[in-house]
Amino acid sequence: MKAEQLRKSILQLAIQGKLVPQDPADEPASVLLERIRAEKQRLIKEGKIKKDKGYSVIFKGDDNCYYEKTGSEVKNITDEIDFDLPDGWAFARINSLFFIQTGASFKKEQATSDFTQTRILRGGNILQGEYRFFENDIFVDSKLIQDSIILKNNDLITPAVTSIENIGKLARIEKDYEDVTAGGFVFIVRPCYNSDIFAKYMLYALQSSYFNKQLKSITKKSGQAFYNLGKERFIQLIIPIPPLNEQVRIVESIEQFTPLIKEYDKLEQQATKLDGEIYDKLKKSILQYAIQGKLVPQDSNDEPAAVLLERIRAEKKAQLGKKYVESYIYKGDDNCYYEKVGKNEPVLLENLPFDIPDSWCWARLENAVNINPRNNIDDNLDVSFVEMKSIMDGFNNAFCYKKRKWRDVKSGFTHFKNGDVGFAKITPCFQNRKSVVFHGLENCYGAGTTELHILRAYSDTIFSAYLLYFVKSPYFIEHGKINFSGTAGQQRFGTDAVKHTFIPIPPYNEQIRICNQIETMLGKLKDEN
């Protein structure tokens, strides 16, 4: 069980009367509710709070149904009640327990950073169970703030208009302030009965799954990104009330559990982080083993990689004609690697990163694949347009696209087609492994962000998936980082550096076996994680 699930379970047990034992000698909740009703009437009479729509009493009838009496009107509300309560407990609506108001409303130009004025707590200041002050908090001239909304001890605050994930976050104010209030999109939930125990119990009760379910049911979308609780809907929500003495026991029990849950959460986060790091290291190790020829066994029946490179050279020569300069890397009788370019004398290579099997070959990327090719297709053809944000990072092979006409994207963008491998050249996208094998493109072609390098394999020479795992490998990432150029924050793995990068090339059939094994192993890690 996750720490948050454990916390919610404890709170749910608490509001159902299952966390601590009941004591028949406790003064029943109905007496407490009557005192709250009397106190609320006093505050209304003194003009300290506004008169509301009326006090209601919720009770259980002889037929085991729940009823609500407001004035002389009685109605069945059983469908609003999810569970029965122990003897001595009672249900009540928020409106019967609290005075609800929104925080300060002000114009944008009235906001200031003058910390001697009244601090405004917004939704971002409210965490689950606590509130915080931040350096970027805004302030408003104290003369513009009504005394009635200055936050007092035992006030509860909760976002009234916010994102869906922040609905239900509550905090209890733990002192009287002179210069702190809430913003206009925050509810100030002020108890009519000012008691630390009562306020603490209500804080926990309002964080329960039962109450959160009610909150979600009344929440309405306001605009594209925000959700609105609505004051009139909020005040009608129902909460279970134990006897005051039992509230003491509940609060004490929850407060005993709270540090343990926090420690559990801390350990859980550490474990999750460690698990993530372990799995990340395992994935990196798998790819590194793969490109070193250590992931699957070699097969002497495989056509050696040297034959693949001969086919690549023949295809490059046919494309480039007189511009083609023959280049290859070979192992000499002295067990050292040499590189011969054109008619130049072979040069000893002392910077190859690791050993590879005998059936493999080393090559520079520019001599193994076509780098950053251009498409020559009809202007009216529908193609795929891919932004950097649309390419998943990590060890995934996924992206999404928008449909565009080729004439609109052929200039000023990177070109690619199905089967091409694209990888980000700019930091931090490069280190984050934003790379993909393009597939399922509109009419097989696409264009996209200029911050991509494209690798296009020659026919039946280098498997696209192998190229993808190569550019995601620790060797390639570290090599790219070493060869970054440009200013901080805008560094790139430049085209020339990419061209001269060494790539280990296995036999074609072994490439397929490697990729199948990687997919199997990564799939198992995903299932385990």
Both structure tokens of 445: 């072609």
Task: Please check whether the two domains, 3-265 and 365-508, share a CATH topology.
Answer: yes
Beta bridge partners of residue 331, listed in sequence order: 337
Tell me which DSSP letter residue 137 carries. -
Q: How much is the average pLDDT of 112-127? A: 91
Instruction: Yes or no: say if 33 and 90 are a contact pair by the CB < 8 Å rule.
Output: yes
pLDDT at 239: 95
Both structure tokens of 228: 């609105």
Class in CATH terms, 365-508: alpha beta
Q: Is the pLDDT of residue 63 over 70?
A: yes
Instruction: Yes or no: say if 11 and 200 are a contact pair by the CB < 8 Å rule.
Output: no
* 426 CB neighbour count, 10 Å cutoff: 20
* Euclidean distance between CA atoms 81 and 239, whole angstroms: 10
pLDDT tens by residue, 466-487 = 999 999 999 999 999 999 998 8
Both structure tokens of 72: 């002389």
Domain ranges within the chain, ordered by starting residue:
3-265, 305-351, 365-508
pLDDT at 381: 97
What is the pLDDT of the chain when averaged over all its residues? 91
pLDDT tens by residue, 376-426 = 999 999 999 999 999 999 999 999 999 999 999 999 999 999 999 999 999
Question: Do strands 502-505 and 361-364 pair parallel, antiparallel, or not at all (unpaired)?
Answer: antiparallel
Q: How confident is the model at residue 356 (pLDDT cuts 50, 70, 90)?
A: very high
% of the chain exceeding 70 in pLDDT: 98
pLDDT at 43: 83
Q: Is the pLDDT of residue 222 over 80?
A: no
Contact residues for 281 (Cβ-Cβ < 8 A; gap 6+):
none
pLDDT at 394: 92
Instruction: Yes or no: say if 209 and 220 are a contact pair by the CB < 8 Å rule.
Output: no
Q: How confident is the model at residue 49 (pLDDT cuts 50, 70, 90)?
A: confident
CATH number of 3-265: 3.90.220.20
pLDDT at 529: 60
Q: How confident is the model at residue 528 (pLDDT cuts 50, 70, 90)?
A: low
Q: Is the pLDDT of residue 442 over 80?
A: yes
pLDDT tens by residue, 492-514 = 999 999 999 999 999 999 999 99
pTM of the model: 0.61
Q: How much is the average pLDDT of 251-266? A: 88
| Lowest-confidence region among 11-20, 92-101, 302-311, 319-328 | 319-328
| Strand ranges inside 201-241, DSSP E | 220-222, 226-228, 238-241
* Euclidean distance between CA atoms 487 and 90, whole angstroms: 66
Cα separation of the two ends of the chain: 15
pLDDT at 224: 64
Q: Which of 157, 150, 99, 156 shows the shortest CA–CA distance to 123?
A: 157
Residue with the bigger pLDDT between 263 and 54: it is 263
pLDDT at 303: 94
* Euclidean distance between CA atoms 438 and 424, whole angstroms: 13
pLDDT at 196: 95
pLDDT at 114: 86
% of the chain exceeding 90 in pLDDT: 69
Residue 172 to residues 100, 153, 432, Cα–Cα distance (Å): 14, 8, 41
pLDDT at 54: 65
